[in-house]
Amino acid sequence: MVRQIAVLSFFAIQGGGILFAQKDRIVGPVDTSKTVILKGNVRPAVKPELDRGGLDPSTKMTLELILKPSASQQADMDRTLAEQQDPSSPNYHKWLTPDEFANRFGLSDGDIAKIVNWLKSEGFHVDEVARGRNTVSFEGTAAQVQKVFHTEIRRYQIDNEMHFANSTEPSVPAALEPVIGGLLGLDDFKLKRHAGALRQK
């Protein structure tokens, strides 16, 4: 399902009686000629001796950008998680709604808009922005993925099964590096999602 993105200039959320606006963290234009490598996005099982050739460039792929919180957001998230699980804390079992999570730990609408606009400009179809503003799901062909993320999608025979996976680490525009934590969907191995770092209602 495609969700419409509401682009707002500011967020006003209540925190300790003080109203504050969520700041954009992507500064400057998204220049595709200046890229950085996203490390940790190649499967350990992918080995050259298991390579069985390139994936058909027309193969449809569904991917998900994992968006990372700022250092201060991460510290607040860790603290809140600890309080939610501490019976002596006034915040014990006080779970957050998706909107509360987004306003405290997700990206600003301005940053989300820049990411979505970049993906669309590269020809991808954006399927969904998570309500918590911490992931963006999108679709495209293997050819698009290889070109945009500067990697190669290969076929591998692993444990008598055929899989596809990226052979090298992907890259993204340097301007987006502060907010992108990873990229899921570059392979067809079963995804093992980590338990949510913070429980929501």
DSSP structure string for 168-201: S--EEEGGGTTTEEEEE-SS-SPP-PPPPSS-B-
The whole-angstrom separation of Cα 141 and Cα 164 is 13
pLDDT of residue 102: 92
What's the predicted TM-score (pTM) here? 0.82
Summarised one tens digit per residue, pLDDT across range 92-123 is 999 999 899 999 999 999 999 999 999 999 99
> How would residue 78 be classed by pLDDT, with cut points 50, 70 and 90?
very high
Average pLDDT value for the chain? 86
pLDDT of residue 22: 74
Q: Looking at the predicted structure, is the pLDDT value of residue 35 above 80?
A: yes
What's the average model confidence in pLDDT over 12-33?
A: 67
> How would residue 6 be classed by pLDDT, with cut points 50, 70 and 90?
very low
Half-sphere exposure of 49 (CA within 13 A, CB side): 1
The whole-angstrom separation of Cα 4 and Cα 9 is 16
pLDDT of residue 66: 96
Classify the phi-psi angles of 162: left when phi > 0, otherwise alpha if psi is within -120 to 50, otherwise beta: beta
- Asked if residue 199 belongs to a domain, the reply is no
* Total domain count, the chain: 1
- Asked if residue 190 belongs to a domain, the reply is no
pLDDT of residue 189: 87
> How would residue 32 be classed by pLDDT, with cut points 50, 70 and 90?
very high
Q: Looking at the predicted structure, is the pLDDT value of residue 16 above 70?
A: no
Summarised one tens digit per residue, pLDDT across range 167-200 is 999 999 999 999 999 999 999 987 544 434 444 5
Enter the tokens of residue 123.
């020809």
- Asked if residue 201 belongs to a domain, the reply is no
pLDDT of residue 201: 53
Residue 50 phi/psi, 5-degree rounding, is -100, 0
pLDDT of residue 191: 55
pLDDT of residue 17: 32
Q: How far is CA 120 from CA 83, 127, 133, 148, 175, in A?
A: 40, 11, 17, 11, 16
- Asked if residue 194 belongs to a domain, the reply is no
What's the average model confidence in pLDDT over 145-161?
A: 96
Domain of 172, in residue numbers:
13-184
- Asked if residue 167 belongs to a domain, the reply is yes
Q: How many other C-beta atoms can be found within 10 angstroms of the C-beta atom of residue 186?
A: 25
